Amino acid sequence: MIIETDRLILREWKMSDIEDNVEGLNNFNVTKNLTVKFPYTKQDAICFIEKHRNNDEENYYFAIQLKNENKVIGGTAILVDKHNMIGKGGIWINEKYLGKGYGTEVWIARAKFAFENLSLKKLQNGYFEFNEISWKMQKKVGYKIVGEKTNFSKALNQKVKEIVTELTKSEFNKALEKNFKQINFTFKVLEDNKYS
Ligand SMILES: CC(C)(COP(=O)(O)OP(=O)(O)OC[C@H]1O[C@@H](n2cnc3c(N)ncnc32)[C@H](O)[C@@H]1OP(=O)(O)O)[C@@H](O)C(=O)NCCC(=O)NCCS
């Protein structure tokens, strides 16, 4: 299963993505915002891809590939709690590609897929208290702050305060109307292997 947006393809991870996975995640500026360890090695990438390359209806791990280029610039996931119809999971973008709107493009596609294709009730996320960029991105697509909890950053090797956020379908639709009205947004879910 593949999601296509204007500039990106979200697809299952492949062993040939190892190098791009390491390039993106072996970076303290990225991993300090995640629960991923630092340094992040080739062996870590192999373990991750071996474990998560086959998606099923409760686990969607996507490599974020630049359309028409064989370059993976990030990763995202939707982990489905089927009992409560809630989706969890995060996002990272390779530091070289930050600030070009890719994160927002993924975050919109991910939410559309969650609500329109998986019929989830809400998405639950969060961000470490110092990660203002993540909050900026989440807020723009309609996320609300619902609480806080303590998490552990392996990269920082310390406890961190995580601000817990949630997105409902109605808040998402309101945000799309308010903040992305002018954008003719491409969103296709493809069943074939066109980009694999
Ligand atoms: C959070 C993240 C995914 C955003 O990705 P991105 O591709 O840079 O996002 P966008 O380009 O869509 O930008 C989102 C917003 O952040 C702003 N932004 C991006 N980089 C910025 C920077 N270096 N300084 C200030 N603002 C920045 C953008 O301007 C945009 O706001 P705007 O729409 O009001 O202009 C990315 O920063 C990342 O991977 N960070 C490390 C891992 C991480 O934090 N993951 C999320 C964990 S909760």
DSSP 107-122: HHHHHHIIIIIS--SE
Question: How many CB atoms are located within 10 Å of the residue 66 CB?
Answer: 15
Please enumerate in sequence order all residues whose Cβ is within 8 A of that of 108, keeping only pairs 6 or more positions apart, or say none: 5, 141, 176, 180, 185, 187
Q: What CATH fold (topology level) applies to the domain 2-185? A: Aminopeptidase (3.40.630)
What's the confidence (pLDDT) of residue 193?
A: 53
Q: Which residues line ligand 1 (CB under 6 A)?
A: 30, 33-34, 90-93, 98-104, 127, 131, 133-134, 136-137, 140
pTM of the model: 0.95
Ligand 1 pocket, mutate which of 32, 37, 107, 133 (most atoms under 8 A from CB): 133
**How far away, in angstroms, is 83 Cα from ligand 1 center?**
32
Closest-lying ligand 1 atom to the alpha carbon of residue 100 = 11
What's the confidence (pLDDT) of residue 196?
A: 45
What's the confidence (pLDDT) of residue 188?
A: 84
What's the confidence (pLDDT) of residue 184?
A: 64
Token pair, residue 165, equals 């956020």
Strand partners, 78: 60
What's the confidence (pLDDT) of residue 170?
A: 98
Which backbone phi and psi does 121 adopt, to 5 degrees?
Answer: -80, -40
Q: CA–CA separation, 65 vs 68, rounded Å?
A: 8
**How far away, in angstroms, is 127 Cα from ligand 1 center?**
12
Alpha carbon distance, N-terminus to C-terminus of the chain = 10
**How far away, in angstroms, is 95 Cα from ligand 1 center?**
10
Strand partners, 158: 153
Q: Which amino acid is at 183?
A: I
Ligand 1 pocket, mutate which of 134, 137, 138, 149 (most atoms under 8 A from CB): 137
What's the confidence (pLDDT) of residue 137?
A: 98
Low-confidence ranges of the chain (pLDDT < 50): 195-196
Q: CA–CA separation, 188 vs 84, rounded Å?
A: 26
Per-domain residue ranges of the chain? 2-185
